Structure 1
Amino acid sequence: MSSNKVKGIMCIISSAFCFALMNMFVRMAGDLPSIQKSFFRNFIALIIAFIVLIRTDEKFKFNKKNLPELLLRSIFGTMGILCNFYAIDHLVLSDASMLNKLSPFFAVICSYFVLKEKVKPFQALAVIVAFIGALFIIKPQSISASLPSFVGMLGGFGAGVAYTMVRKLSQKGERGPFIVFFFSAFSCVVTLPYLIVDYSPMTIAQLVILICAGIAAAGGQFSITAAYSYAPAREISVFDYTQIIFAALMGFIAFGDIPDKFSIIGYVIICSVSVAMFLYNRREDEK
């Protein structure tokens, strides 16, 4: 195994840890609205992206032809974060994390419509099996009981569409730091009116925890960017699912969360089909 591949694996595991840590901090912040939590999380990312961009030669220049994709990435990315944060507050931490990890399967569907990429029979089957696994986690019962799980899955959908837009923007030559900056600024602008109208007072401890969530999120973004600079996605992406292990451990230690047997079955199904699709994509790339 090459040294770059090892570095890539370590970076993507680091990213998974950071995002699990972010989820834990979001829940630790307590009974605050998801919109308020999202604002502070993205405000930290906005500051970091601003600092990165201000030190580049291009500064905040971007191709105006990319504006539609930037807006779609921001709209669906904001929806994904809000739904994910709502799920984190109402579900076992590992359940919320796993439902958010449905995003690659939604990205397959979205890529078919947006990027006109062919969906092969194996990929279509993988999407179907992944959703069967999601049903074990959601455990459809009454609407009120299943609502947080469905919202969590909607968050995975938002993330999947957002990632598809990021891929399209990258293909069109848009810079990564500017994509992060635009998305973070958009999300803050969208959520700010809610804070002005219905701000929930926070303790110093809650503010510090949300700042920690933002720092952890930034760590995850930088780690995953570094990971894919060392090795292609087909070789290391499957290690991103270590986030579920981290989330389960943190959820148990911090909140006493214990997933039920149906959720564990769902984890096994989704992780297994993810590994299978990872191996399939790598084999296809090698051909």
Structure 2
Amino acid sequence: MKTDILQQSKSVNKGMLFMLLAVLLLPFTDAIAKYLSTSLSPTQIAWIRFFMQVVFIFLISLFIKQKIEKFRLSYIFLGLFVSLTIILLFWGLRYLPLANNIALFFIEPMVLTILSVIFLKEKIFYNHIIAVLIGLVGTFIIIRPNFALYGIASFLPIASAICYALYLMSIRMASNLGNSISLQFWVGVVATFFLSIVILFGESFNIEVFSFHKIDSSIWWILLILGIGTTIVQLLVSSAFFHAKASTLASFQYLEIISATILGWLMFNEIPDRFTVLGAMIVIFAGIYLVRHERKANKAQNLNQN
């Protein structure tokens, strides 16, 4: 019994370590995407990101000798939602400061709660309602100065958060997704295919944000770093969720704001205004409050089952 508890504790600690590394690395890949957005379109950057993910994960599967499992229909929805997430996030990075973009994306846990109630028929408690309302207040505080400065672009990270919440909800609804290598490989394939269609559409109708610009040879190494970095992040997140529950890992994502603020300041001379900082703190508080309630609910459920 003690051995089982010790092994479970080690597994959870390993999951938290993987998640910690992922959320600290993620803003670096966002910073690279923001830098590339001055010469490449958001859709093009997203296409390169997923194409490289497919290539790298295929090579990793050969190296570790892990077979990629067969394609599942659920991968289609996951690929569509995650590709839209990245397009909108990178599109927002073109206009908004790095920290502001991530702060607005933090509404995702609240959106996921609302979607879970509507589509998954999950029960909602007053704690959920309080967290969602507090999170919305924080979001409006962030939007107000950002909308005045950046206009409609302020809603791009919010739309990205909604798509990512749909991605996570699709994972909850799927009965079997296979191992993390197979999941990330096939999601990358679907996303690459979907973004190829979007780029063809953009080129046909001369829509800049969906087009494919000529890539200067001097930035190929940056694209390579982006591909490697995003692949590592995805594998770390997948591994983290294999070792620990979502409710245990959810609050770690808010650490992104720390490295995003530092990177925004060092790379782009961006310093969030006081309203963005205040709104971000409120949204983070709402998210952590929601996560803590989920943990308590899960513990109570486990005790009742035992």
Is the TM value for this pair above 0.5? yes
| Conserved? CA contact 2:146–2:154, under 8 Å | no
The answer to whether the 8 Å contact 1:238/1:278 transfers is: yes
Specify the alignment match of 1:149 in structure 2: 154
**Aligned match of 1:110:** 115
| 1:78-133 deviations in Å (ceiling 9; x for gaps) | 11111000111111101111222222222112222332222222112212221221
- Say if 1:240 and 1:194 are closer, same or farther in 2 by CA, change over 3 A: closer
Could you give the per-residue CA deviations for residues 186-232 of structure 1, whole angstroms, max 9, x where no partner exists?
A: 22122224556343112223222222122111111111222223332
Q: Find 1:179's aligned residue among 176, 183, 187.
A: 183
1:247 partnered with 2:252: no
Shift of 1:149: 1.3
For residue 61 of structure 1, report the CA deviation from its aligned partner.
1.3
* Partner residue in 2 for 1:13: 20
Distance change >3 Å, CA 256–CA 140, structure 1 → 2: closer
- Superposed, 1:123-272 pairs within 5 Å as 123-139=128-144, 145-169=150-174, 171-193=175-197, 195=199, 197=203, 198-272=211-285
For residue 70 of structure 2, give the secondary structure of its aligned residue in structure 1: coil
Q: Does 1:91 align with 2:110?
A: no
- Percent identical among aligned pairs is 20
Which piece of structure 1 moves more, 35-44 or 105-114?
A: 105-114
Superposed CA offset, 1:2-55 (max 9, x none): 444433322211100221111011012133110110011111111133335564
Unaligned runs of 5+ in 1: none
Amino acid at match of 2:42: S
Distance 2:195 2:177 in 1: 29
CA spacing shift, 1:38–1:261, aligned 2, 3 Å: same
Is residue 278 of structure 1 aligned with residue 291 of structure 2? yes
Q: Is residue 56 of structure 2 the alignment partner of residue 48 of structure 1? A: yes
In 1: Cα distance, 2:224 partner to 2:108 partner? 25
Q: What is the TM-score normalised by the length of structure 2? A: 0.83
RMSD: 2.3
Q: In structure 1, what is the Cα distance between the partners aligned to 2:57 and 2:129?
A: 36
**Where in structure 2 are the equivalents of 1:59-70 lying within 5 Å?**
59-63=68-72, 67=73, 69-70=74-75
- Which whole-Å CA distance do the structure 2 matches of 1:39 and 1:276 have between them? 36
Task: Classify 1:61/1:90 alpha carbon distance in 2 versus 1 (closer, same or farther; 3 Å).
Answer: same
Counterpart residue identity of residue 53, structure 2:
A
TM-score (norm 1): 0.89
Q: What one-letter code is carried by the residue in structure 1 that aligns with 2:18?
A: C
How many angstroms apart in 1 are the aligned matches of 2:78 and 2:241?
A: 20
Q: CA deviation at 1:143?
A: 8.3
Q: Counterparts of 2:121 and 2:56 in 1: how far apart (Å)?
A: 34
Structure 2 CA distance for aligned equivalents of residues 60 and 247 of structure 1: 35
Find the structure with the greater CA-based Rg: 2
Count the aligned residue pairs. Answer: 281
Preserved contact between residue 76 and residue 162 of structure 1 (Cα < 8 Å): yes
Instruction: Extract unaligned runs of 5+ from structure 2.
Output: 1-5, 204-210, 301-306
C-alpha separation between the residues in 2 aligned to 1:21 and 1:103?
Answer: 20
The aligned amino acid for 1:111 is S
Q: Structure 1's 142 and 248: CA in aligned 2 closer, same or farther, altered over 3 A?
A: closer
